[in-house]
Structure 1
Amino acid sequence: MDDTLRGAWPVAPTPFHDDGTLDLDGMRRVLDCIVDQGVDGLCILANFSEQFLLSDEERERLTRLCLTHVDGRLPVIVTISHYATSIAVARARQAQALGAAAVMMMPPYHGALLKGTAEQTFEQVARVGEVGIPIMIQDAPLSGVDLPVPLLVRMAREIPMVRHFKIECSGAAGKLRALVAEGGEHVVSPLDGEEGITMLADLDAGATGTMCSAMIPEHVRRVVTDHAAGDREAAVAGYARILPAINHENRQCGFRAAKAAMREGGVIASDFCRHPVPPLAPETRAELLGLLRPLDPVALRWGR
């Protein structure tokens, strides 16, 4: 059976009330909106879900809520990254028990100086692999841990559950191309990230899809599907059309962009982000919405 991840896999934002408490009804609406965006799957509790601003109890509660509410309508990837291997393993077990399609993990790190070595990273991934749920390795600059292609290929070859990769480092296309060439059949799903800002080059390099945000994933998906169908001209045109909005998201807004779009579209009542994350400046938010309106994304009209 082909279990390759294809298309667009947006990260679900985590909504809060204006007082900073979790908006659980809003979380359900976010998930319903993502389903209606017509994407291929979704990811929860990732960096763009503000995972670093959630308590352990909140993470567990959100994992249960999201997997229960999605209820098989889309496959769900649960982020389980943690410096402690035992905690990463426990999170993987919970995700598996609740029906997640896969888990995603960064290398073990905690701050700028407490980082796992290449061997420690391999050992942690191997321990999670014993749980028996497919693993996506997230190669993100945030961890500060270097994941060279030979290490990624070793994981793919020696840890059966390592099947998917999210490559969002600098020069992602070159790394994806090398990973696909050296990993062969062991690299089942090479995806890119970074909101899809380098998506066209990454698709040319062999990416099967992208883990973007939930801002305009239906448009992102169209680029992927056109490219996969061999219509590169349509893929280039689609990419060029959405790139200004994605660039503004990537360079000016970060995870706040999807929340701003969903608030504007009535999906959520508040785009609050927990301190120390500052709110979007009014000018930055207005520029974002000005770039989004011509695209008429689902997120801008879902709740209206």
Structure 2
Amino acid sequence: MTNREQPPLTGVFPVLPTPFHEDGTPDADGLRTLVRYLLSSGVDGMTYPGVASEVSTLTEDERSTLTAVVLDEVAGRVPVVVGVSSSDAAVTERLARAAVKNGAAALMVAAPPHLGSTAQQADYFKALAVAVPAVPLMLQNVPMPVGAGLEAQAVVDVLEAVPAIAYVKEETLPSGQRLTAIRAGAPSTLTGVFGGAGGRYITDELRRGACGTMPAIELAEVHVALFAAHRQGRLEEVRNIFSRMLPVLNIQSIFRWSLTKYVLLRRSLIGSSHQRMAGPRLDEIDQQDVDLFMDDMSDLLLSEAKTRACIFNQQKVSNGTA
């Protein structure tokens, strides 16, 4: 089966963070543990790297190496969407070719913020589609300064000009209304629209026909439970789960990488909360709040035994005993 013949991407595709050692170097073994955690959580797929991965702080070599680690650990068990955005088109193409070679299911590319017209955006994506024709593209519509923050009609115009774009990840607010407009005006070559923004608007996005969500990783199994309830039409349960997630999602909207890494460290899934990105860090009182909110969701989280298994299995591989 070629990547273009694969089933449509749908469901929960969390964005993996990049774990670092205390000295700031990437922790590849820690990344493998996080992949195992996602697989144990029952995700439909995963995404790497993205904004939640501190991608702007990674060198091209680090991105290529760490993406290969993710794809190797996944080993085809679920589809992986690989982020290849860069301010340099040549770098994007190199990252894209490497990702395709290693088994990426789709390539996520932010609409470049420096391209001012829809025609320029279309030409950019056309060139990438020619360079890597083997996999579908995902246009990530993220606000400035990371992306162009295209209006819905501009996204539709680019989709019409570039049939290789099969997916959109809509993160420009109000994302729900934009999602509706894109789906209503898009050509038949659009397979689906994903939500993002940490999963903070997931119930609105699902009501409007989103095919999936790409949240940060710290509540992966809870997102899986919510999406399962959505698929089965249990709408009251969807709202209930979402309401229980909101306190943590609200903190994540402010502290971003700091919140994600604090939760993962608290659950022993990473060995350090070191982050390269600038931004606010949780203080002791913030951490106490997060602890309480996570305890409130303990029945929705992966059991400690399953979490330990992700770590233990990775330690066996690291020690060469697998």
Q: TM-score, normalised by structure 2?
A: 0.87
Q: CA deviation at 1:256?
A: 2.3
Secondary structure of the corresponding residue to residue 10 of structure 1: coil
Secondary structure of the corresponding residue to residue 186 of structure 1: coil
Q: Look up the match of 2:14.
A: 10
Q: Look up the match of 1:103.
A: 107
Percent of aligned pairs sharing the same letter: 27
- Indicate conservation of the 8 Å contact 1:267/1:299, yes or no: no
The 5 Å alignment of 1:239-258 reads 239-250=242-253, 252-258=254-260
Secondary structure of the corresponding residue to residue 61 of structure 1: helix
Q: Distance in 2 between matches of 1:300 and 1:277?
A: 30
Q: Look up the match of 2:40.
A: 36
Give the AA of the match of 1:120. Answer: Q
1:75 to 79, 88, 95: 79
1:220 to 201, 218, 223: 223
Secondary structure of the corresponding residue to residue 32 of structure 1: helix
Q: Look up the match of 1:196.
A: 199
Give the AA of the match of 2:141. Answer: D
Q: Distance in 1 between matches of 2:209 and 2:121?
A: 25
Change in Cα spacing, 1:290 to 1:278, as seen in structure 2 (3 Å) is: same
Secondary structure of the corresponding residue to residue 186 of structure 2: helix
Q: Look up the match of 1:206.
A: 209
1:49 matched to 2:53? The reply is yes
Q: Look up the match of 2:315.
A: none
Q: Look up the match of 2:164.
A: 161
Give the AA of the match of 1:206. Answer: G
Please list the CA deviations of residues 225-246 of structure 1 after superposition, one character each: whole Å capped at 9, or x if unmatched: 3223322222112211212221
Please list the CA deviations of residues 173-192 of structure 1 after superposition, one character each: whole Å capped at 9, or x if unmatched: 11111111111533212111
Please list the CA deviations of residues 163-209 of structure 1 after superposition, one character each: whole Å capped at 9, or x if unmatched: 11111111111111111111153321211111111111111111111
Larger deviation: 118-127 or 88-97?
118-127
Secondary structure of the corresponding residue to residue 190 of structure 1: strand
Q: Look up the match of 1:89.
A: 93
Secondary structure of the corresponding residue to residue 185 of structure 1: coil
Q: CA deviation at 1:278?
A: 5.2
Give the AA of the match of 1:220. Answer: H
1:152 to 137, 155, 161: 155
Q: CA deviation at 1:115?
A: 4.7
The answer for unaligned runs of 5 or more in structure 1 is none
- Indicate conservation of the 8 Å contact 2:118/2:158, yes or no: no
Q: Distance in 1 between matches of 2:241 and 2:55?
A: 31
- Indicate conservation of the 8 Å contact 1:92/1:103, yes or no: yes
Change in Cα spacing, 1:50 to 1:176, as seen in structure 2 (3 Å) is: same
Q: RMSD of the TM alignment (CA)?
A: 2.0
Q: TM-score, normalised by structure 1?
A: 0.91
Give the AA of the match of 2:124. Answer: Q
Q: Distance in 2 between matches of 1:285 and 1:136?
A: 35
Q: Look up the match of 2:127.
A: 127
Q: Look up the match of 2:239.
A: 236
1:264 to 259, 263, 266: 266
Aligned residue-pair number: 299
Q: Distance in 1 between matches of 2:259 and 2:170?
A: 21
- Indicate conservation of the 8 Å contact 1:44/1:79, yes or no: yes
1:273 to 255, 272, 275: 275
Please list the CA deviations of residues 92-117 of structure 1 after superposition, one character each: whole Å capped at 9, or x if unmatched: 111111100011011224xxxx4553
Secondary structure of the corresponding residue to residue 137 of structure 1: strand
Following superposition, which runs of at least 4 residues in structure 1 exceed 6 angstroms of deviation?
A: none
- Indicate conservation of the 8 Å contact 1:264/1:300, yes or no: no
Q: Distance in 2 between matches of 1:129 and 1:217?
A: 31
- Indicate conservation of the 8 Å contact 2:105/2:136, yes or no: yes
